[in-house]
Amino acid sequence: MIEPRIVQRLRDAAEDHRVHPEAPVHLTVRLADGRSVTGTPLAVEDGAVWLRTVQDEDGAAVELDSVLDLRVDEHDQTVAEH
């Protein structure tokens, strides 16, 4: 199960993007299967976070339960860890 603080950070980043689309937050999320996905959170809904990535400008869904941790790329600091 994903930690509530990770979900909150993803929601905060999505809200920041809605309020300030000219300065998107870029996050890298590490997934349970070992992959990492980098993108800008667009929304958190229905058990998924929608990330705008280089490959998918409209947003790709990533299941929240598969997110182990995330990192804000701008500051290269870990925001939350599982």
Maximum C-alpha span of the chain:
33
pLDDT of residue 74: 60
* pLDDT surpassing 80 at residue 77: no
Q: How far apart are CA 79 and CA 8, in angstroms?
A: 11
How far is Cα 35 from Cα 75, in angstroms, rounded to an integer? 21
Report the percentage of the chain scoring pLDDT > 90.
61
- Is this prediction's pTM over 0.85? no
Task: Supply the pLDDT for residue 80.
Answer: 39
